Amino acid sequence: MPGLRVRVLGDCEARVGDGLTLSLPARKSRALLAYLAVTGQRAERRERLAALLWGEVPEEQSRQSLRKALWHLREALAGVEPPPLSTASETIALVPETVDALQFEALVRDGRPDALRDAVGLYRGDLLEGFRIDEPAFEEWLTRERERLRRLAVEALERLLGYETVGGRVESAVEVALRLLLLNPLHEAAHRSLIGLYALQGRRDAALRQYRTCADALWRGLGVKPEPETERAYREVLTGSTAGGSDGRPRVLLVEDEATTRKRLQQLLGHAGYHVVVAADGAEALFQLSQGSVDVVLADIWMPFLDGVKLLAIVREKRVGIPVVLITGRSDAELEASCLKMGAADYITKPFDGRALLVRLGNALRRAREANAS
């Protein structure tokens, strides 16, 4: 007989294989099933489960209520093979064949594009969406787990957006960006990516509307205006210009999320004769790379959305042939060795001397050009 399959992302549902849906009308029986499923086959102590679901009543009454809920659970699971519910004198465990939340986490950890697509497909909604019981301990656990899984979903969508963008899958990238904004309407980098993606599709009006949507959301939600990079993307759509240059100067893609450092580096590179293309995070950098016309990348490591190490991995995986120089404020010999092994052209620790940075960036660009010419 097919095993038990539990879905907790979105509605709570338990099925035998792909067929029979199990009936658990009591809300606390469903809460017990969901909690045991999400905790990942770990045996839970009865006293903890009783306190979690019946914390406002005397201990003996809570244990009796737990025994009753377990009886309902056994009845619903009768005939499922192998038996998913395991009980002992002090502990209870549930071992379903699959739990969508656990599959989702494993796929996000995998991190490859196909795995991220599958993970996003599994995330049909927040954990036990719309479900609640009047038990503070359970509600506290549920809120904490909902937020954790939602953060993982945002991370998966951010990374997938980067993959789809650099792979030139514009329609898919648009869908991912829209999905990301459903989870977080204040995600400015996603708005910014969507503005650029619409422009790529020739949908100028949609790009301009997206800017207005972004500006309105940021003002209503945070009381702030869009970042300069978002304003720049808007102006490029408005005027029909692009970030690329055709004046013969070497083009450096500067990826830095901290505004003061970004401005300082932009001025330094501009005065040194570089044409500077700016990105505020790794995902926006992937969008710029997908447009071509970049000779070298100078990227911070620790950034939201998509960090410098992941950006390096994607650039190397795609065999773009563009050198990536990483900068970081953390001195970490192990991380430095790992990044250089992955193919970073250089690894520079902040604070750095501006002249020394220009020399090392120039050396990385020269080596890449020599390698491409050979």
Same domain, 207 and 276: no
Rounded Cα distance, 277 and 161, in Å: 20
Q: Please write the tens of the pLDDT for every residue from 92-121.
A: 999 899 999 999 999 999 988 999 999 999
pLDDT at 342: 92
Q: Tell me how many domains the chain contains.
A: 3
**Taking residues 174-182, what's their average pLDDT?**
96
Phi-psi label, residue 305: left if phi above 0, alpha if psi -120 to 50, beta otherwise? left
Please say which residue of 139, 170, 189 terminates a domain.
139
Domain-located, residue 244: no
Say if residue 45 is in the same domain as residue 167: no
Domain assignment present for residue 111? The answer is: yes
**At 81, is the pLDDT very low, low, confident or very high (cuts 50, 70, 90)?**
confident
Q: 271-313, pLDDT tens digit by residue?
A: 999 989 888 887 778 777 776 668 899 999 988 767 888 888 8
- 230 touches 211 (CB < 8 A): yes
- Mean pLDDT confidence for 151-176: 89
Average pLDDT (226-236) is 87
Nearest to 255 by CA among 241, 237, 243, 273: 243
Same domain, 315 and 255: yes
Whether 220 is in a domain gets the answer yes
Of the candidates 307, 317, 287, the one whose C-alpha atom is nearest the C-alpha of residue 190 is: 287
Q: Choose the final residue of a domain: 239, 266, 282.
A: 239
d(CA 335, CA 342): 10
pLDDT of residue 292: 62
Residue 189 sits in the same domain as residue 263? no
Q: Quick: pLDDT tens for 120-136.
A: 999 999 999 999 999 99
Same-domain pairing of 105 and 13? yes
245 or 7, greater pLDDT: 7
pLDDT given for residue 24 in this prediction:
83
pLDDT band at 320, cuts 50/70/90?
low
Residues 128, 154 within the same domain: no
Domain contains 125: yes
pLDDT at 244 over 60: no
DSSP 35-76: HHHHTTS--EEHHHHHHHHSTTS-HHHHHHHHHHHHHHHHHH
The residues near 56 (Cβ < 8 Å, ≥ 6 apart) are 135
Mean pLDDT of 135-147: 96
- As a whole number, mean pLDDT of residues 158-186 equals 91
Give the three-class secondary structure for 231. Answer: helix
Average pLDDT, the chain: 89
Mean pLDDT of 195-206: 91
Nearest to 176 by CA among 160, 188, 196: 160
Residue 20 maps to which CATH number?
A: 1.10.10.10
Residue 67 falls inside a structural domain:
yes
Q: How many CA atoms lie within 13 A of 133 on its CB side?
A: 20
Helix (H, G, I), strand (E, B) or coil at 310: helix
What is the rounded average pLDDT of the residues 211-224? Answer: 97
Long-range pairs for 178-186 at CB < 8 Å and ≥24 separation?
179/120, 180/154, 183/150, 183/153, 183/154, 183/157, 184/154, 185/217, 185/221, 186/217, 186/218, 186/221, 186/222
- Residue 291 included in any domain: yes
Pair (292, 226) in one structural domain: no
* Torsion over CA: 9, 10, 13, 16 (sign): negative
Sheet holding 85-87, edge to edge: 44-45, 91-94, 85-87
Least confident of 68-82, 180-194, 243-257: 243-257
Query: Are 204 and 313 found together in one domain?
Result: no
The whole-number pLDDT of residue 285 equals 82
Percent of the chain with pLDDT over 70: 95
CATH number at residue 334: 3.40.50.2300
Same domain? 207 vs 303: no
> Does residue 132 share a domain with residue 10?
yes
Q: Which tokens go with 58?
A: 């005397």
Q: How far apart are CA 68 and CA 79, in angstroms?
A: 19
Whether 86 and 171 map to the same domain: the answer is no
In a domain? residue 290: yes
- 98, 122, 139 - which closes a domain: 139
Note whether residue 245 is domain-resident. Answer: no
Give yes or no: residues 112 and 147 share one domain. no
Q: Which of 67-71, 81-85, 199-203, 244-248 has the lowest mean pLDDT?
A: 244-248
Which pLDDT does position 103 carry in this prediction? 97
Residues spanned by the domain of 321: 251-373
Whether the Cβ atoms of residue 280 and residue 308 lie closer than 8 Å to each other:
no
pLDDT confidence of residue 242: 54
| Whether the predicted pLDDT of 56 surpasses 90 | no
Domain with residue 217: its CATH number is: 1.25.40.10
